[in-house]
Structure 1
Amino acid sequence: MGILFLVPLLAKKDSPFAQYHAKQGLVLFIAEIILYAVGFVLTFITFGFGFFITWIIWLLVIILVILGIVNAVSGKTTPLPVIGKMAENWKI
């Protein structure tokens, strides 16, 4: 979902709910970029095994994106697993 976090960040600047989910999405996006870069490097170092790791990372990111969308649509401010607490501490 990439830069989808920008929508609530820019459209609903005064909404704490929208900002909460924008921060969750931003941290997920940054983590995704870092993990994909690591997977890309591992693909070359391990002669292709890193591709498998990158596929697992992609799957985990998709699960977190879906979970975040479900939380937002349901009106919940439940942090995403692993990265959610970190996002709550960020100031945007």
Structure 2
Amino acid sequence: MYDSTDIQSNKGMAIIAYILFFVPLIAAKDSKFAMYHANQGLTLFLCCIILNVVLPIIPFIGWILLPLVNLALVILAVLGIVAAAQGQVKPLPVIGTYTLLK
């Protein structure tokens, strides 16, 4: 499904996708591997934005959950970076099944 030469030549772009998801969209738009990780990075970014806007609005429970959710999001980013560095196409837990980019 994913070409090994594509994976080897675009590992860096796949890693960057979890930090700045839009960089692979510009620099490696022809790479299926980089685009997969850009999709994962975009999904993670949107989850960060939504949860960091919604949770502070919820009194007490939201305030308690916010640091835990942010820690979980950082862990997901690290898992994605590790998978990209190893050349794996592995969906992130919980949010990895959503496809926002084609």
TM range (shorter): 0.7 to 0.9
Matched, 1:63 2:75: yes
List structure 1 segments (4+ residues) > 3 angstroms apart after TM superposition.
Answer: none
Structure 1 regions of 5+ residues with no counterpart?
none
CA RMSD in angstroms comes to: 1.8
**Matches of 1:67 and 1:2, distance apart in 2:** 10
Q: After TM superposition, give the deviation of residue 10 of structure 1 in Å.
A: 1.3
Instruction: String of CA shifts for 1:3-43, please: whole Å, max 9, x gaps.
Output: 6111212110000000000000001111111111121101x
Q: After TM superposition, give the deviation of residue 51 of structure 1 in Å.
A: 2.4
**Matches of 1:2 and 1:13, distance apart in 2:** 15
User: % of aligned pairs identical?
Assistant: 47
Tell me which residue corresponds to 2:96. Answer: 84
Tell me which residue corresponds to 2:20. Answer: 4
Kindly indicate whether the alpha-carbon contact (under 8 Å) linking 2:18 and 2:38 is maintained by their aligned counterparts in 1. no
Structure 2 regions of 5+ residues with no counterpart?
1-16
Number of residues paired by the alignment? Answer: 86
Tell me which residue corresponds to 1:28. Answer: 44
